[in-house]
Amino acid sequence: LLQVIPAETPLQEAFRVADDVLRQGVQGISDIITIPGLVNVDFADVRAVMADAGSALMGIGIGSGKSRAKEGAIAAISSPLLESSIEGAKGVVFNITGGQDLTLHEVNAAAEIIYEVVDPNA
Distance, CA of 22 to CA of 70 (rounded, Å):
24
Nearest alpha carbon to residue 59 among 32, 37, 86, 27: 86
pLDDT value at residue 64: 94
| The pLDDT value given to residue 81 | 67
Q: Could you tell me where the DSSP H helices lie in 6-103?
A: 11-34, 43-50, 68-77
What domains, with CATH codes, occur in the chain? Answer: 11-117 (3.30.1330.20)
pTM of the entire predicted model: 0.73
**Long-range CB contacts for residues 29-32, cutoff 8 Å, separation at least 24:** 29/58, 31/95, 32/93, 32/95
How does pLDDT run across 65-99, given as a tens digit for each residue? 999 999 999 998 987 666 677 888 888 888 888 88
